[in-house]
Structure 1
Amino acid sequence: MLLFGGLGIALGRFKQLAPGAVVTWFIAVTPQMHDFWNMEDDQREGQQVHFLKNLIILGGALSFLANESED
């Protein structure tokens, strides 16, 4: 999903489906892969950085989705 969505966004194809796939991926995967709230101090900071990075990417994908929905 992430590969398809990223390529679709980069190539300007599937203008609603591609960012929707990226959004779906990050909503489903981010809390499971980067659950910093369940980790010890050594790992917590790194996982929190990755979690926040994924939220930023999710925001960008939502922006693409919102802009394409207006057209």
Structure 2
Amino acid sequence: MLVCDLQGILDMEGKFPKFRLTDPAINTGKGQKRIGRTDLRMKGIRSFCRKHQCNKVCEGLGLPPLRRRSSRHKEIPRN
């Protein structure tokens, strides 16, 4: 399962600012129940992995770089 898109706003009310995230786009893998019309299953996961470029958000979430199956793909450095 891969959450590949989120919408949301930064809520500055209260003692601490927080993000309110909505409208997730989720792609499920083989053997998992499909989640909504935007779930492109493994095709969507493969597409995301091909196109994604790690950034400060990935780093802030503590996510490891995406691993590529083919040696012709180079790991994309985080900026």
Greater strand proportion: 2
TM-score interval (norm. to shorter): 0.3 to 0.5
Whose helix proportion is higher, 1 or 2?
A: 1
Q: TM-score, normalised by structure 1?
A: 0.32
Give me the TM-score of the superposition, normalised by structure 2.
0.30
Higher relative contact order (Cα pairs below 8 Å, separated by 6+ residues): 1
